[in-house]
Homo-oligomer: A and B are copies of this chain.
Amino acid sequence: MTGTPDEPTKTGAETYAADAVPAEAGKRRIRNITELARIAGVSPGTVSRALAGKSLVNPQTRERIQAIAREHGFRPNQMASKLRMQRTGVIGVVIPLGHDSRQHISDPFFMSLFGYLADELTESGHDIMLSRVIPGDVEWLDRIVDSGMLDGALLIGQSDQTDVIDRVADHYLPLVVWGTSRPEHRHCSVGSDNRAGGRLAAERLIAQGKRRLAFFGDPRAPEIADRLAGARDAVDGASGATLEVVPTTLSSDDLADQIAANFSKVDRAVDGIVAASDVIAMTTLRILHERGAQVPQEIAVIGFDDLPLATRTVPQLTTIRQDIAGGAKAMVASLMQRIAGVDTPSTVMQPELVIRESA
């Protein structure tokens, strides 16, 4: 049994079959609470209470039942329990925007936020379900939310789905979204003041004497649009400063090529770059290095997010910090309140400039 035929990159598959099942404790497997009840000579209800550690049941009986359960390796079926309890303990985490989900899932920012969310949720005893987003489906969110599988849902980013989100939020309370907060939104969001952040970034470059700025990012996403608006605010307030927008998507695969292409366009006319994210900034940094440009002397680069990665670049990245951990905490706190029925307000966090070496 070696080697399946034509698999990518798979070489010399070896076999260590898992036969020879040992012992199995001799006990027959118990399938459900009723069987266990029969064995223990009590009713299913009592077993349920005993296993849940309820105080209503006689300590001796409880211990006996738990012993039997342990001995047979029995654990009550969660699906049935959840159905009955109407509470699943599962929170859905979703990235909107269907096409090419991989790109998004492995995006460092998403991962970072996701990690913190996972922390918070695990801490509060919840499980996390990464839900399937069917590309091009208008009802993606309804499907997730109405499935009856979730106690609540967390969206990472609004993408261009604000209308869908608002519609669902109108009748589904336990929903919290990472993103930009706008007066017209009807859903609860948590995020940074992106416009202020964009302004901070551009102001830093201007303060460093840079005048011909470029913005690398895709303004179709609301957050990015706000960051751009902020940068423009700053530029408009400084005499002689200009800002050129260079659309740059977030997808990381061809990002390097895109940015390289950007430089063919803007070339050395530019002396300061506001990147819409740290990932963009990092890649920009590398390309500048390849082209032999001195950072920050010839061109300064400023990022957005302050991911852990930002300290690992050469030169280390000057960036606009978003408190991702705090944001995750706020999202989960809001969600918990909403699960309890409270209609919580949105949260806007103030970003701050973190000065390192690149600008």
Chain A contact residues, CB within 8 Å of chain B = 1-4, 7-22, 24, 29, 73-75, 77-80, 82-83, 88, 90, 101-102, 105-106, 108, 111-112, 114-116, 118-119, 122, 125-132, 142-143, 146-149, 169-171, 181-188, 193, 252, 256, 282-283, 286, 289, 308-309, 311-314, 321, 323, 325-326, 329-330, 333, 343, 345-350, 352-355
Query: A129 near B132 (CB under 8 angstroms)?
Result: no
Nearest residue in B to A355 (C-beta to C-beta)?
B1
Nearest residue in B to A13 (C-beta to C-beta)?
B347
Q: List 25 contacting pairs A-B, 8 Å CB cutoff, sorted by A.
A: A1-B345, A7-B329, A7-B330, A9-B321, A9-B350, A11-B349, A12-B193, A12-B348, A13-B345, A13-B346, A15-B345, A18-B169, A18-B186, A18-B187, A29-B171, A74-B146, A75-B142, A79-B88, A90-B129, A101-B122, A102-B118, A106-B115, A108-B111, A111-B111, A128-B130
Given A8-B326, A10-B330, A18-B188, A73 and B146 contact (CB-CB distance below 8 Å) = yes
> Which chain B positions have C-beta within 8 A of A146?
73-75
Other-chain contact of A125, B111, B132, B181, B193 (Cβ < 8 Å): B132
Given contacts A12-B349, A78-B147, A106-B112, 17 further A-B contacts (CB under 8 A): A2-B354, A7-B326, A9-B350, A10-B326, A10-B330, A11-B348, A14-B345, A18-B170, A18-B186, A21-B170, A22-B170, A24-B171, A90-B129, A106-B115, A127-B130, A128-B129, A283-B312
6 closest Cβ pairs, A-B complex: A106-B115, A15-B345, A77-B148, A11-B350, A9-B323, A75-B146
> Which chain B positions have C-beta within 8 A of A115?
102, 105-106, 111
Instruction: Give the interface SS of chain A, mostly helix, strand, loop or mixed.
Output: loop
| A136–chain B nearest beta-carbon distance, Å | 14
> Which chain B positions have C-beta within 8 A of A355?
1-2
Q: How far is the CA of A323 from the CA of B12 in the complex (A)?
A: 13
> Which chain B positions have C-beta within 8 A of A3?
352
| A337–chain B nearest beta-carbon distance, Å | 10
- Could you say which of A82, A184, A308 has the most chain B C-beta atoms within 10 Å of its C-beta? A82
Other-chain contact of A119, B101, B169, B184, B345 (Cβ < 8 Å): B101
Query: A325 near B8 (CB under 8 angstroms)?
Result: yes
Q: How far is the CA of A343 from the CA of B355 in the complex (A)?
A: 55
Q: How far is the CA of A3 from the CA of B75 in the complex (A)?
A: 44
> Which chain B positions have C-beta within 8 A of A171?
21, 24, 29
| A341–chain B nearest beta-carbon distance, Å | 13
Nearest residue in B to A17 (C-beta to C-beta)?
B345
> Which chain B positions have C-beta within 8 A of A79?
79, 82-83, 88, 148-149
